Structure 1
Amino acid sequence: MSLEVSQLSKFYGTQKALDGVSFAATPGRILGFLGPNGAGKSTTMKIITGYLSADAGEVKVLGENALENPKLVSPKIGYLPENNPLYLDLYVQEFLEFSAGLYGMKADHTKGRVAELIQKTGLTSEQHKKIGQLSKGYRQRVGLARALIHDPQVLILDEPTTGLDPNQLVEIRQLIQEVAANKTVILSTHIMQEVEAICQDVVIINKGKILAVSPLSELKVGSGQIELVLETEEELELAWFEKLEKTRFGTKGKKQLVVDTSDPIESRKVLMQIITERSLNLNSLNQTKKNLETLFREITNSQ
């Protein structure tokens, strides 16, 4: 593991922002770090990157204790914070060269590295503009280039696709996937489609506690990823369907039933049997796959 977080806790006065947070991330896999506003995502990322101290716990980056040796670990991490602080009066190329200098990169190496990242992040046409003249989407690209300038082994991205149009979104998504081939990448976002498109692993946090740590594929399978939606002409009673573990009324009230299942074939058989026994008039029985957004709501609302 190139990043290990163990029993991390953080207090703001009497408020516990993080409560025993533990997870790990590995190279070659993008980890989606998800949670509602105020869940503790940004606090966790700031502690990992050395911007905040922790009250308890441990963070190891490439085997080094990040809490005890932040100056040693910090150069190994690239960080794009949510608010993306930039020097608006600097030109794009100038800013990236300045950022490279902060990491002690030599001038002969800096020029080539800046040119490479300008091309990769799609900033070629904007490189001679001041950052303050750029749209929000292009500023995000500058922030991403800045996070990558020193070729870090761990990359932490907080809402990296904010403000991007659909075409820019595809390009940045491809770049993140390319970067993740030989780096450890943590991606925090509110866009669930983004996580489903590029992440292999998921961590879900709420109220400072970790609720789920899992490969995305296993999370879906383990949560009963199929929904069956039954609609009848008559009103239904949940007690009729006690053979099925996860049932609830749907958007049309008691005439619609939603069943969460990992075995849709067997569940459909049980439903049809009940419909026959109760002499119900069936309007429809539809089957859909749950997406990550649905699973996210279920997990965070169950806390």
Structure 2
Amino acid sequence: MIEVEHLSKIYGSTPAITDVTFSVEPGEILGLLGPNGAGKTTTMRILAGYLPATNGNARIAGYDVHENSLAVRQRIGYLPETPPLYPDMTVEGFLHFVAQIKGVPAGDRPNKVTAAIKRCNLEDKRRVIIRKLSKGYRQRVGIAQAIVHDPPAIILDEPTVGLDPRQIIEVRNLIKSLAGTHTIILSTHILPEVSMTCSRVAIINRGKVVATNTPENLMTQLTGGSGYELEIEGEAALAKQVLQNVAGVSLIESIPTAGGHHPQANRAYLRVISQPGKEPGKDIVATLVRAGFGLHELRRVNATLEDVFLQLTTEEKNFETEVDLAADNEGEAA
């Protein structure tokens, strides 16, 4: 449904994205995950026809984004980070207006608008003026305008930014309900957003896609998938030396506490990461006991998406600032 091949965008001499390649299957939700300034919004703007790419190709529903821009825009719903709303219109009036400019036939507009209102749980707000809505409801209206013409592909740029926890859950459930009948790209830098919403993730850092897979596979492939947290009596440095020769152990590191406990005197807290497919827990216990360490707790922990994210990304403040400024300047010129 969505194919991106070797996409690049350069602002002056600053590359915003470089050789970005990924695809999204019909009915799938792909999470475009990366730190601020990594190139997520630039990629979204190119796919939506808002910006031209410097190099590379992108196709949506078989149409080239550059060569068939109008056909692509008829087949996508786009929600930028700031929803494009008219605050003095009612929800229903605004959606009728959007349906008209998106080419929905006049006879179909009432049903399309009602369907979008219902799907976004806006029935009791349909005659409310948009400026009187909370941020969470305005975000729902933004999603409604993106789906009112029932497009096959939906592009959502940071759809839950600035929302409170309840609103985030509501918008997340709404997005998940759109999967299957719509193909969705969702950009975010919020890690739980990806694991709870997306079937697949593409991690982008400094303008390049550095990994693409399901969240579960990424956690397994890049971190070994699981490990153990230990609370022992004794010195951490000595315990690390003892454990480094245990078969199946790939990494040993000190942590503030294990299991969320308050640190206690003469206690050491360690995280032991196992090699893929290995479960050295029994040998870890036996080795510590033989060496005279008191073992107070051993608990299995699974690798998290945060571990993957930190492994694959770095904060490059100067790069991010240059790209953000260049993007803002080009957006204003447009």
TM-score (norm 1): 0.91
The aligned runs of 1:156-167 (5 Å cut-off) are 156-167=155-166
**Correspondence 1:3-18 to 2 at 5 A:** 3-18=2-17
More divergent stretch after superposition (269-278 vs 152-161): 269-278
2:298 is the alignment partner of 1:299: no
Compute the displacement of 1:140 (Å): 0.3
Would you say 1:224 and 2:224 are equivalent positions?
Answer: yes
Deviations 1:114-165 (A, max 9, x none): 1111122111111112111111111001100000011111111112234545
CA contact (8 A) 1:137 1:162 kept: no
Offset at 1:216? 2.2
1:12-31 equivalent positions in 2, closer than 5 A: 12-31=11-30
Once structures 1 and 2 are overlaid, which stretch shifts more, 182-191 or 233-242?
233-242
Counterpart residue type for residue 82 of structure 2: N
In the TM superposition, 1:253-264 aligns within 5 A as: 255-261=268-274
Alignment match, 2:59? 60
Partner of 2:234: 234
Instruction: Read off the aligned partner of 2:303 and give its amino acid letter.
Output: K
Count how many residue pairs are aligned between Structure 1 and Structure 2.
302
| Contact kept? 1:140, 1:163, Cα under 8 Å | no
Structure-to-structure mapping, 1:197-208, within 5 angstroms: 197-208=196-207
Quote how far apart the aligned CAs of 1:290 are: 2.8
Q: Residue 241 of structure 1 aligns to which amino acid in structure 2?
A: L
In the alignment, what sits opposite 1:36? Answer: 35
Moved more, 148-157 or 181-190: 181-190
Contact 1:140–1:162 (8 Å) recurs in 2: no
Q: Percent identity?
A: 40
The CA distance in 2 between the partners of 1:90 and 1:210, in whole Å, is 40
Q: Give CA-to-partner distance per residue, 1:49-97, whole Å, 9 cap, x none.
A: 1111111111111222212322221111111111112111111111111
Please show how residues 125-274 of structure 1 align to structure 2 within 5 Å: 125-222=124-221, 223-237=223-237, 238-243=240-245, 244-251=249-256, 255-261=268-274, 266-274=279-287
Mapped contact 1:137–1:164 kept (Cα < 8 A): yes
Give the distance between the partners of 1:263 and 1:269, measured in 2 at CA: 16
- SS of equivalent residue, structure 1 residue 173: helix
Distance of aligned partners of 1:144 and 1:262 in 2 relative to their CA distance in 1, 3 Å threshold: farther
Q: Which runs of 4+ in 1 moved over 6 A?
A: none
Q: Output the TM-score relative to the length of structure 2.
A: 0.83
Letter in 1 for 2:250: E
SS of 2:283's equivalent in the other structure is helix
SS of aligned partner of 1:106:
coil
Residues 81 and 158 in structure 1, CA contact (< 8 A), matched pair in contact too:
yes
**5+ long unaligned stretches in structure 2:** 258-262, 317-334
CA contact (8 A) 1:228 1:264 kept: no
Residue by residue, what CA displacement relative to the aligned partner does 1:6-36 show, whole Å, maximum 9, x if unpaired? 1111112222111211111011221111111
Which stretches in structure 1 are left out of the alignment for 5+ residues?
A: none
Check the 8 A contact 2:220/2:303 in 1, yes or no.
Answer: no
Question: What's the RMSD between the two structures over aligned residues?
Answer: 2.3
